[in-house]
Structure 1
Amino acid sequence: MTVYSLAPGWPRLLSALGLDPQAVLRQAGLPADLLRSPGARIGAEDFFALWEAAETLYPGPDLAVALASAVSADHFDAAVFAGLASRDLAQAAERIAVYKRLIYPVTLDVRTDAGLRIALRPRTPFTPPTVLERFELLFWVAFARLATGARIRPVRITVPDPPDDQTAVADFLDGGVLTHGPPAVVFSPSDMRQPFDTAVHSDMWAHLEIDLRRRLRTLEQSATWTDRTHAALLTCLPAGRRTLADVAHHLATTPRTLQRRLEAENTSFQKVLAETRERLARAYLRRTPLSNTEIAFLIGYGELTSFHRALRQWTGQTPRGLRPA
């Protein structure tokens, strides 16, 4: 899906880290009441912008380390708490990977053939902010320590862009540092199988599993055809597929049926296409160094002038005006 729930503890966590939640929202260009809205849901682009804003305003040396250091059972979403009901870290990673999409626009690829390797893979056309990647990987170290009661240290953590100053990271990892590579954390076979001190009775897991599966079904069933069309376009547009027929095929329906379902939701394929292109254009301009020509191609425009004209119609600005200063 393309929208994600914000945990209700965000304001409290931001404040505990010395951040003003309202200032973070302003920096991210998000509504001032977003964090006060029960069950608030935002798209992946806005979710990433929230993390980037928090990092920009954070007064300390490393927000990812600060967040990982603050990990406790009190702050967990049910999907993560389910991990504490596991036998060991390997089982916890496999369980959490199934339900991760309830709370994050990131997929976990879990392998247990030679120790435990947890890799991050985005579910949108955009790479997560580096601070989010670092936290996601450091989180697993904090989680393993919390669950086992042992000072577990990973075999290695790789990220595409390691920070220059890793003093805070080294303190957290007991001398370890982040090295260059695809975003992933690796634990030894012995740490992977170390029993959890916090493992709970199987009845508790059964209860959690029922609730989490219900939430997944609700998420899937509540998706409108507008949401599904937008999600399909995120995949189709970069591949050069932008027609009603292309998207209908991707959604395993017919063009006529898709158009009828969109009309029932008071919209149209062309309107969803334009909205998706605008969202992609804003995100590419704000979050990537891609050239205007490359962005035009990725959102389905064969000519740069057509992209410029559409962008001015959507935003009243040129590409230069939407790029960060």
Structure 2
Amino acid sequence: MMTTGYALDATWRPLLKDLGLVPADILRRAGLADDLLQRPGLRLASEDYYRLWEAVAQDDRLFPLKLCRAVRAESFSPPLFAALCSPNLGVALSRIRAYKKLIAPMRLDLIETEDIVTVEMTWLDAPFHPPQSMIQFELLFAVTLARMGTRELINPVEVETTAPPAQAGPFEDFLGARMKPAARNAVTFSASDAARPFLTSNESLWDAFEPGLRERLADLEEGATTVRRVKAALLEGLPSGLASIEAVATKLSLSKRTLQRRIESEGCSYQQILQETREALAWHYLTTTALPSAEISFLLGFSEPNSFNRAFRIWTGLTPEGARHAGRVGTPPQRRSA
């Protein structure tokens, strides 16, 4: 069953800072809880998210432009950051299409011909309607992504929108193309620009991100057990140090006691889930990427590499480098952990 709403992740806080806005003022204006941005992994209902967006935009008709200029790669949510690791824009758009629903109730359609690549955006949360400035931002952001990846001034061939801005000039100057009023929201690039190499390409990072994205998508699209939801929360949160049951309970909007009770009712324990998730990720990183052990330690939420090395030896009887070699020659040992 698909979960509706928008992901409200940690990217909002640095964005508001970069825009010179005070979170408490924004949340008060939107009529939302004052600790909202401090709750990890929260999903907001469409009507609440749109109120938040409008509170940030503050009737500024050029807000989508300002937001695009403020956005940085490090403030991307995981699916968008992973897309920036793609070899080119065409691949990046296909990856965003696959995982966009982790961020928003949207569908992206790609139409490719010999000469052009078009990405069409459709919102799936009727009867609600996204603010016009949000539609404008999504169109601008597709172009921003192309420019960030290539470090070139990529201009679209055509931009079509159901929300043409009242002051079209600044938008069209930014895009290098006219914003054409239309019955759909779409950006069209030349095939040559869509194939232009991304200087940000990093397939090792993509390989590291993709398993977590797949897990989260599976949990979003079907009723997930508590154990599966905890694993998905850990896959998303371990790189930022989210490893405690208290942090995961907060992320899942549960009390610690309720989370423990639900996990135990499924015949498991939190520590077992944490260990199995870390071990599975460690094997993935060691056998499919060239990431050094110190970096893998960070991605698994360990405070220092030595802690990871000790834990991995307990799990497998091997050092991480020994396990990497064993995996590459096709002879990974049997799990020693329960």
TM-score range for the pair, normalised by the shorter chain length: 0.5 to 0.7
Q: Secondary structure at the match of 2:109?
A: strand
Corresponding residue of 2:82:
82
Equivalence for 1:173: 175
Matches within 5 A, 1:270-285: none
Q: Give the RMSD, CA atoms, in angstroms.
A: 1.9
Between stretches 120-129 and 131-140, larger displacement belongs to: 120-129
**Is the 1:24–1:57 Cα contact (8 Å) retained in structure 2?**
no
> Contact conserved, 1:19 with 1:57, CA < 8 A, in 2?
no
Give the deviation of 1:212 after TM superposition: 0.6
Question: Who is 1:236 aligned against?
Answer: none
Compute the displacement of 1:150 (Å): 0.9
Cα distance in structure 1, aligned partners of 2:121 and 2:50: 15
Secondary structure of the residue that 1:109 maps to in structure 2?
strand
Residue aligning to 2:136 = 134
TM-score, with structure 2 as normaliser: 0.61
SS of equivalent residue, structure 2 residue 193: helix
1:96 matched to 2:96? The reply is yes
2:180 aligned partner, one-letter code: T
Q: Hey, what's the Cα distance between the residues in 1 that align with 2:195 and 2:165?
A: 31
> 1:64·1:131 contact (CA, 8 Å) conserved in 2?
yes
Identity %: 39
Post-superposition shift, 1:223? 5.8
Give the equivalent residue in structure 1 for 2:211: 210
Partner of 1:31: 33
Unaligned runs of 5+ in 1: 225-325
Letter in 2 for 1:127: H
| Contact 1:71 1:139 (8 Å CA) reproduced | no
Report the Cα distance in structure 2 between the residues aligned to 1:177 and 1:24, rounded to whole angstroms: 32
Q: Work out whether residues 148 and 198 of structure 1, in 8 Å CA contact, stay in contact via their aligned partners in 2.
A: yes
Q: 1:52 aligns with which of 36, 44, 54?
A: 54
Verify the 8 A CA contact 1:4 1:41 in the aligned structure 2.
Answer: yes
TM-score, normalization: structure 1?
Answer: 0.63
Report the Cα offset of residue 57 of structure 1: 5.5
For the residues of structure 1 that align with 2:112 and 2:192, how far apart are their CA atoms?
Answer: 11
What corresponds to 2:13 in structure 1? Answer: 11
1:64 aligns with 2:75: no
Partner SS, residue 158 of structure 1: strand
Contact conserved, 2:18 with 2:70, CA < 8 A, in 1? no
Specify the alignment match of 1:307 in structure 2: none
Matched letter for residue 161 of structure 1 = A
Q: How does 1:179-194 map to 2 (within 5 A)?
A: 179-181=180-182, 182-194=184-196
Deviation at 1:119, TM superposition (A): 1.0
Secondary structure of the 1:107 match is strand
Alignment partners' CA distance in 1, 2:163 and 2:217: 33
SS at match of 2:129: coil
Q: How many residues are matched?
A: 220
| Cα deviation code 1:12-39 (max 9, x no counterpart) | 3123213232222222222221112222
- Does the 8 A contact of 2:64 with 2:136 survive in 1? yes
Whether contact under 8 Å (2:19, 2:70) holds in the other structure is no
Distance between the aligned counterparts of 1:56 and 1:26, measured in 2? Answer: 13
Contact residue 135 and residue 163 of structure 2 kept, 8 A:
no
1:266-305 equivalences in 2 (<5 Å): none
Q: Name the structure 2 match of 1:122.
A: 123
Runs of 4+ residues deviating >3 angstroms: 220-224
Letter in 2 for 1:79: P
Task: Work out whether residues 9 and 40 of structure 2, in 8 Å CA contact, stay in contact via their aligned partners in 1.
Answer: no
Partner residue, 2:111: 111
SS across alignment from 2:27: helix
Structure 2: runs of 5 or more not aligned: 226-338
Q: Determine which of 134, 146, 149 is the counterpart of 1:147.
A: 149
Which residue in the other structure is 1:311 paired with?
Answer: none
Contact 2:73–2:81 (Cα < 8 Å) also in 1: yes
